[in-house]
């Protein structure tokens, strides 16, 4: 069996865009007619530019190759152009293609992907979700700055069976380097933690989300402010490439530090582990694919750290996350996004049940992609999947991070 053909579908979830403005799905076909699906989580260039990168990576390093040879194809892409170092965009392209290879091989062998990764360790995976509006009274964008609405959403989410909820009240993300959080952002963050903790009690863990926007001192200050509410983790407190600052923050706080959404390959995750990260969050459509993620999990196991794969994309990457978690002994939980569009795109083939994801047994990723639905929602905008703001930091704390994919401005 050889890799013969590639198709790319850029699909846009309906507003409000939980999971980003668009998802990049890749479809591989073998010379024997077997299909494999993957998803590229790459947002540093626009989707048309990314199409060209994906085609180049496939044609240069993968076309005509046996889809079983994922390590060989990874080494080609990783070393391309005399680089042999992590490259976010190239690895984003390769990752989705690599996931599709596993789906194809699993279908050809009649085995689920987790069986090919070492076999099943778990039969169901603990799920977590961001807090999204759940009631008619929850209005956007006010929802993102209102601790009482967040607490109501937490109550509703826990009532559906979730045992962990994530929220992100610590202010905006700017293109500038790490900053010291102003007092209003600190006050809002502690208010969110207090209200949600009071709403859910000990029925759920609190996951405090940030995205690398703090200076080292700012991260320590924010971490100390939220610590009384016993969050399970403090996510990406400092810029993702500053491992020395990460180590300072990890040593200075009792709250576990989680990182990984913007890292790629074992090379970068090894740095994070050495810096003291307690939870790794690889995005499988960016981190190098399933085999790199399996290696990252082994590194984490040796450091007594846990895995919680990231998801801010579509359900194909989610399916890959589920299979990874099923095959490793140190899976903590998997990020999940439940929308009708996510569900319909894979025809309900994987769903959350009582806060957990049953591991599929069907061949490959165990999903059926609704290709017609994906093509019926093409992305026609010019924005990136996610974007950081260029405006300067608002010291009065009036600017907050908006979830979903805010309208393009």
Taking only the tens place, the pLDDT of each residue in 72-121 is 999 999 999 999 999 999 999 999 999 999 999 999 999 999 999 999 99
Q: Is residue 286 within 8 Å of 92, Cβ to Cβ?
A: yes
Q: How far is residue 384's CA from residue 211's CA, in Å, rounded to a whole number?
A: 17
Q: Is residue 102 within 8 Å of 69, Cβ to Cβ?
A: no
Does an H or E element contain 128, and which? strand 124-130
Residue 266: the pLDDT is: 98
Taking only the tens place, the pLDDT of each residue in 11-65 is 999 988 899 999 999 999 999 999 999 999 977 899 999 999 999 999 999 999 9
Residue closest to 283 by CA, chosen among 44, 55, 65: 44
State the average pLDDT for the chain.
Answer: 95
Mean pLDDT, residues 176-189: 93
**Is the confidence at residue 402, as pLDDT, over 80?**
no
User: Is it true that the peptide bond before 360 is cis, omega within 30 degrees of 0?
Assistant: no
Q: How far is residue 323's CA from residue 359's CA, in Å, rounded to a whole number?
A: 7
Mean pLDDT, residues 386-393: 83
Q: How far is residue 223's CA from residue 219's CA, in Å, rounded to a whole number?
A: 6
Helix ranges restricted to H, 124-230: 147-159, 183-200, 216-226
**Is the confidence at residue 409, as pLDDT, over 60?**
no
Q: What is the CATH number of domain 116-364?
A: 3.20.20.120
Residue 407: the pLDDT is: 61
Q: How far is residue 266's CA from residue 167's CA, in Å, rounded to a whole number?
A: 28
Tell me the chain's radius of gyration from C-alpha atoms: 20
């Amino acid at each position: 069996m050889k890799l013969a053909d590639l198709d790319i579908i850029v699909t846009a979830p309906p507003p409000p865009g939980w999971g980003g403005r668009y998802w990049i799905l890749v479809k591989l076909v073998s010379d024997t007619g077997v299909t494999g699906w993957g998803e590229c989580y790459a947002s540093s260039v626009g989707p048309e530019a990314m199409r060209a990168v994906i085609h180049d990576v496939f044609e240069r390093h993968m076309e005509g190759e046996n889809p079983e040879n994922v390590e060989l194809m990874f080494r080609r892409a990783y070393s391309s152009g005399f680089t042999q170092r992590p490259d976010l965009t190239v690895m984003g392209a390769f990752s989705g293609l690599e996931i599709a290879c596993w789906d194809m091989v699993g279908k050809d062998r009649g085995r689920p992907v987790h069986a090919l990764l070492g076999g099943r360790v778990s039969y169901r995976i603990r799920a977590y979700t961001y807090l999204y509006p759940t009631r008619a009274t929850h209005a956007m964008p006010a929802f993102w700055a209102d601790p009482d609405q967040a607490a109501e959403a937490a109550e509703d989410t826990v009532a559906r069976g979730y045992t962990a909820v994530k929220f992100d009240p610590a202010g905006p993300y700017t293109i500038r380097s790490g900053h010291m959080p102003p007092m209003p952002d600190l006050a809002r963050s502690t208010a969110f933690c207090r209200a949600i903790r009071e709403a859910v009690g000990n029925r759920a863990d609190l996951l405090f989300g940030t995205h690398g926007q703090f200076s080292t001192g700012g991260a320590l200050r924010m971490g100390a402010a939220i610590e009384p509410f016993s969050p399970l983790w403090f996510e990406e407190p400092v810029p993702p490439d500053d491992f020395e600052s990460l180590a300072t923050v990890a040593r200075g706080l009792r709250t576990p530090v989680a990182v990984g959404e913007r890292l790629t390959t074992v090379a970068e995750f090894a740095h994070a582990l050495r810096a003291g990260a307690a939870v790794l969050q690889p995005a499988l459509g960016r981190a190098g694919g399933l085999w790199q993620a399996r290696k990252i999990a082994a590194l984490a196991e040796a450091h007594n750290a846990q895995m919680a794969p990231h998801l801010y994309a579509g359900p194909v990457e989610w399916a890959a996350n589920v299979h990874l978690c099923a095959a490793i002994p140190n899976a903590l939980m998997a990020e999940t996004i439940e929308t009708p569009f996510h569900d319909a795109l894979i025809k309900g083939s994987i769903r959350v049940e009582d806060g957990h994801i049953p591991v599929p047994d069907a061949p490959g990723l165990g999903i059926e992609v609704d290709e017609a639905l994906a093509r019926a929602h093409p992305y026609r905008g010019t924005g990136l999947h996610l974007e950081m703001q260029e405006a300067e930091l608002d010291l009065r704390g009036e600017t907050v991070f908006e979830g979903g994919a805010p309208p393009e401005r």
